[in-house]
Amino acid sequence: MDIHLLNALGITNCALFKCNSEDDITCLTPELPWLLNVVSLDENNKLQKKHVPSIFLDDFFFDADEVWKGETSFTLSSGFWTEQNENQLLRLEALAINSGSGSRYLVVKNVEEQFDEKQQTLQAARELLLSHHEIVGQHEYIRHRLNNVLRKNTRLQKLVPPIQQAIHNLETGVVILDNEGALILDNKASHRLLLCNSTTPSSIRIMELIKDIDAPSTFLPALVQRKAPWQGEIYWQPVDDYKVWLQVTIHPVLHGEELTHWVYLFTDITHIHNKEESVLTASGMDSLTKVANRNLFTDTVRRLVQEDTPFKLFIIDICDFKKINEALSYQSGDEILKSFALRLQAFVGNSGFIARIGSNEFALVKRIDTFKDVSSSEYVKQLVSKLTKTYTVLNGSEPNLGINIGEASFPQDCSSAETLLQCTDVALQAAKYQGRNISLVYSEELHSQHNAIYELESELRRAIANNELKLFLQPIVDLSTGKIVKCEALTRWITPEGKFISPEVFIPLAEKSELIFPFGEWLINEACAAIEALKASNLDIRLAINISGRQVSDLALLNQIKNALEDHQLFGSNLSIELTESVFIESLETVSILLNELRAMGITVSIDDFGTGFSSLVYLKKLPIDELKIDRSFVSELEKNTDDQAIVQAILGLANNLNIKIIAEGIETPQQQQFLQNHQCAYGQGYLYQRPVAIDEFISLARKLK
């Protein structure tokens, strides 16, 4: 539809310019009455860029020219600005448009209505936030006053009447219980909010509330132990026709080390919750954490870039947040996100801008000139320390979070908001590959490394999808007879171009990305197919596969193993699972459940690379483990290294006492084999017997040895 008709109908109120070149910008809508307050036009309606009345628009042309010079489709907004003259106040926004197909436009919009609407939204958001902060402040004030009174007068003797009078008239619901949970005092507001009656007093309602929100039995004792109150928002529906959002404070009062009272404070915040999500979102705020959302963050970054203000951008990712939600519940996950945002805001204060830009990602924008007494690296170190301290949630859990941080600077690293975001994300992704609580600063070298990793990751994804990976087998032999008793499945990757990529490269890459899950599923199915091939050749040999720590924590792993065995009509006794020691450090409880399930299916369990990691007697005693594999680093110098000899002897003695079989990895010489035999090592694996070979070649070798 024609822009003139849209303007005439009142649907829009904007000026349109076509840019034929930098100095040839023609106005297509010169009839707008307010336009000459903003631009200067000649007799041919061409824009006079050297005589633009609006200082703001004149400044915008510097960025607009860059947009118009490019070849890609892009639209740049100036944001709202105000023009004031003697007769009129204008609210305006400019857009520089590159269609990507040779057309360039400038649009200047009169946004009076949108501006007023946004201001109203912002005001509503401010009022909601102020209301909520006021409620929290009231709780804190009442809590402190009651805490002081109750600590000084543990029996409430002389001060009972004035305390009762004060509490009675409060709009905040107040309930005071003794250390046994018996009612001492409450007020009308608590009766109303908790639906109390003659048969159900406030003390009973409080216990019902705590039960209804699934707080564990350890929740209240934990508050006493920490000598700290709990404060939060609770949604409660005790009966069908009563639903309420409550701001709740639970405060244990202690006299020295002794618990004397419980103070419960309640305020109805349902009206805030009913309005705040839509209002906060419209005003650029995240409704859960009450910090800026992604849209407001993006606008802020673009504005700073337009103003040519040097600043640093940090993107902060909470590690494995999906696992936290699954382990603790999504309600607890939300609690942690709110606490995380509060900590971040408290740390940054007024010296930076923070936003929640993803489900578990936050951004921090900090001007260079605010780094006064601390370097950027030291600032990040302090930030990591602050954000990774223990969190406390309603269900009594106290998780420790891991985070990763990517950092980039404007204009040092990038010249636009979009490229700055990309650079920061590159640094963040690289940090994720290196582990937890890692912070990396963007550099060209880091970018090159990231591109190489990303390219290799894409190739590995294709290789898994196209079945380009191959399974090789290496025998495990009885050292006394030389008979093959088992084999280990090892993955080899040779690209269609004939390039060999080492497992030491692609296995860690898969583990640090999501590819470990499709790779693990491929490995389980290929292993079962290999067992079928062995059985078809009358070879009754158990086959071992390696499972990574990330697979162990995936609830789908057990089903994948069960389904693969069923699909290939195999028994669990045909399969062995190898885990590295590092798995037990983070997931001992999860691993225990998994191993018991596997053992129930007849699958044996081995600990790979024993002696190089955790090496704790705890899991050897508590977990159902069948075998230990002595790491090759202890075997390679057995002939001459007395330290390695002592370590191997100690492992063999320990395993024999616990009735655990030992497999020595990396045997390459008859002398190494002899030492191991002399000290009662049952099984061995290494180049002395056979390198890993393709399945057909392994079957041929095994037949000969049989």
DSSP character string of 122-149:
HHHHHHHHHHHHHHHHHHHHHHHHHHHH
Q: Can you give the residue range of the structural domain that contains 600? A: 463-705
How confident is the model at residue 160, as a pLDDT? 58
How confident is the model at residue 75, as a pLDDT? 77
Show the tokens assigned to 514: 């999501």
**Separation between Cα atoms, residue 653 and residue 164, nearest integer Å:** 72
Q: What is the pLDDT of residues 236-273, one digit of tens each?
A: 888 878 888 898 999 999 888 889 899 999 998 887 77
The residue out of 383, 407, 442 marking a domain boundary is: 442
Q: Which residues fall within 8 angstroms of residue 545, CB to CB, at 6 or more apart? A: 488, 489, 523, 524, 527, 575, 576, 577, 578
- Residue pointed to by tokens 């080492």: 502
- Give yes or no for residue 95 having a pLDDT over 70: yes
Mean pLDDT, residues 409-429: 90
Q: Are residues 230 and 296 in the same domain?
A: no
Q: Are residues 516 and 619 in the same domain?
A: yes
**Separation between Cα atoms, residue 117 and residue 114, nearest integer Å:** 5
Work out the angle at residue 92's Cα, subtended by the Cα atoms of residues 87 and 98, and round it to the nearest 5 degrees: 145
Q: What is the pLDDT of residues 185-222, one digit of tens each?
A: 899 999 999 999 888 899 999 998 888 877 777 888 88
Q: Are residues 533 and 671 in the same domain?
A: yes
Mean pLDDT of the chain: 83
- Give yes or no for residue 698 having a pLDDT over 50: yes
Considering Cα of 197, then 201, then 206, then 208, what sign does the dihedral take? negative
How confident is the model at residue 118, as a pLDDT? 57
644 membership: H or E segment, kind and range: helix 642-657
The count of structural domains within the chain is: 4
Q: Does residue 411 have a cis bond before it (omega within 30 degrees)?
A: yes
Q: For residue 204, give the 3-state DSSP assignment.
A: helix
**Separation between Cα atoms, residue 642 and residue 88, nearest integer Å:** 92
**Separation between Cα atoms, residue 381 and residue 237, nearest integer Å:** 44
Q: For residue 596, give the 3-state DSSP assignment.
A: helix
Q: Are residues 537 and 674 in the same domain?
A: yes
**Separation between Cα atoms, residue 636 and residue 634, nearest integer Å:** 6
Q: Which residues fall within 8 angstroms of residue 311, CB to CB, at 6 or more apart? A: 304, 365, 366, 367, 368, 409, 410
How confident is the model at residue 546, as a pLDDT? 92
Considering Cα of 155, then 159, then 163, then 165, what sign does the dihedral take? positive
Question: What CATH number does residue 297 fall under?
Answer: 3.30.70.270
Q: Would you call 84 exposed, middle or buried from its count of C-beta atoms within 10 A (0-12, 13-18, 19+)?
A: exposed
Question: What CATH number does residue 100 fall under?
Answer: 3.30.450
- Residue pointed to by tokens 């409880």: 589
Q: Are residues 531 and 385 in the same domain?
A: no
The rounded percent of the chain whose pLDDT value lies above 90 is 30
| Domain assignment present for 454 | no
The per-residue DSSP string of 537-588 comes to TT---EEEEEE-HHHHT-TTHHHHHHHHHHHTT--GGGEEEEEETHHHHHHH
How confident is the model at residue 32, as a pLDDT? 86
Show the tokens assigned to 561: 């193993």
Show the tokens assigned to 55: 């200082």
Q: What is the pLDDT of residues 588-598, one digit of tens each?
A: 666 777 888 88
How confident is the model at residue 8, as a pLDDT? 47
| Domain assignment present for 641 | yes
| Domain assignment present for 670 | yes
653 membership: H or E segment, kind and range: helix 642-657
Question: What CATH number does residue 173 fall under?
Answer: 3.30.450.20
Q: Are residues 665 and 549 in the same domain?
A: yes
Q: Are residues 403 and 499 in the same domain?
A: no
**Separation between Cα atoms, residue 437 and residue 402, nearest integer Å:** 6
How confident is the model at residue 408, as a pLDDT? 95
Residue type (1 letter), 616: S
How confident is the model at residue 197, as a pLDDT? 85
- The answer to whether 171 and 269 have CB atoms below 8 angstroms apart is no
Ranges 115-119, 287-291, 604-608, most confident: 604-608
The pLDDT-based confidence of 611 (bands split at 50, 70, 90) is: low
Show the tokens assigned to 699: 């079957």
- Give yes or no for residue 441 having a pLDDT over 90: yes
- The answer to whether 198 and 287 have CB atoms below 8 angstroms apart is no
- Give yes or no for residue 126 having a pLDDT over 60: no
Show the tokens assigned to 134: 């006021």
Q: Which residues fall within 8 angstroms of residue 578, CB to CB, at 6 or more apart? A: 488, 544, 545, 546, 547, 605, 606, 607, 608, 629
Cα distances from 348 to residues 174, 355, 383, 386, 420, in angstroms, run 34, 12, 9, 11, 21
The residue out of 111, 140, 172 marking a domain boundary is: 111
**Separation between Cα atoms, residue 105 and residue 75, nearest integer Å:** 10
Q: Are residues 433 and 480 in the same domain?
A: no
Among residues 361, 311, 291, 339, the alpha carbon closest in space to that of 125 is found at 291
- The answer to whether 190 and 175 have CB atoms below 8 angstroms apart is yes
More confident residue, 80 or 90: 90
Among residues 483, 479, 537, the alpha carbon closest in space to that of 705 is found at 483
| Domain assignment present for 667 | yes
- The answer to whether 577 and 598 have CB atoms below 8 angstroms apart is yes
The residue out of 381, 412, 442 marking a domain boundary is: 442
Show the tokens assigned to 390: 């223990």
Q: Are residues 431 and 471 in the same domain?
A: no
Question: What CATH number does residue 562 fall under?
Answer: 3.20.20.450
Contacts 24+ apart (CB under 8 A), 381-387: 381/439, 382/347, 383/314, 383/316, 383/344, 383/347, 384/437, 384/439, 386/343, 386/344, 386/347, 387/316, 387/340, 387/343, 387/344, 387/347
The pLDDT-based confidence of 647 (bands split at 50, 70, 90) is: confident
Q: What is the pLDDT of residues 36-49, one digit of tens each?
A: 888 999 999 999 88
Residue type (1 letter), 509: L
How confident is the model at residue 9, as a pLDDT? 44
Q: Which residues fall within 8 angstroms of residue 659, CB to CB, at 6 or more apart? A: none
| Domain assignment present for 121 | no
Q: For residue 144, give the 3-state DSSP assignment.
A: helix
**Separation between Cα atoms, residue 464 and residue 519, nearest integer Å:** 6
Q: Are residues 488 and 538 in the same domain?
A: yes
Show the tokens assigned to 287: 């409704």
| Domain assignment present for 284 | no
How confident is the model at residue 691, as a pLDDT? 93
Beta bridge partners of 547: 579
| Domain assignment present for 146 | no
Rounded to a whole number of angstroms, the CA Rg of the chain reads: 34
Q: Would you call 203 exposed, middle or buried from its count of C-beta atoms within 10 A (0-12, 13-18, 19+)?
A: buried
How confident is the model at residue 236, as a pLDDT? 87
Considering Cα of 23, then 26, then 30, then 34, what sign does the dihedral take? negative
- The answer to whether 150 and 262 have CB atoms below 8 angstroms apart is no
Q: Are residues 297 and 363 in the same domain?
A: yes
Q: Are residues 82 and 159 in the same domain?
A: no
How confident is the model at residue 491, as a pLDDT? 94
| Domain assignment present for 118 | no
Work out the angle at residue 641's Cα, subtended by the Cα atoms of residues 640 and 646, and round it to the nearest 5 degrees: 125
- The answer to whether 393 and 336 have CB atoms below 8 angstroms apart is yes
